[in-house]
Amino acid sequence: MMLNEASIRGYLVELIKHLKLGDLDQAEATIDTLDFDRLLRPIPNPTKGARRQFIDPAEASGIGTERAHEVGDHLQRLASRLEHRDMEGALREAEAALVRWDAGR
C-alpha cells in the first residue's frame, strides 16, 4: 500500500471511527495496515550504488519529516493506550494525529 496525503488521512479517519465504536480489533488492524513507521525509517538510496547513503522517505514523498514524526508520535502513544485498553486516550491521540496531519507541512 502506498502512503500519500489521501491514504494516510483516510486511515486516520477510519481509525477514529473504529475507536468511537469501541472496536479495538479493527482499530489495531487499521494501525497495522497503515504501517506508518515506514515513513520514519531511513532507506538506502538506490541511485548511489555501493555508497551507503540513505534518504528520508517522509521528505522524499513530500510529506515532511517534522510532520511525519509528530503524527508518528501520536500513533505510538495511541498504540500504547490501546495495549492498556484506554480507548478514550487512544481516541484523543488519533484525533490529535488527524489534526496535525491536516495542518500540513
Selected residue with higher pLDDT from 102 and 51: 102
Q: Is the pLDDT of residue 58 over 80?
A: yes
> What's the CA dihedral at 43, 26, 66, 59 to 10 degrees?
40
So what's the pLDDT on residue 43?
Answer: 86
The secondary element (H helix, E strand) that includes residue 37 is none
Question: Measured between alpha carbons, how far is 16 from 3 in angstroms, rounded to an integer?
Answer: 18
* Pair 67, 44: CB distance under 8 Å: no
So what's the pLDDT on residue 9?
Answer: 97
Q: Domain residues of the chain, as ranges?
A: 5-103
Amino acid at site 21? L
Q: Is the pLDDT of residue 49 over 90?
A: no
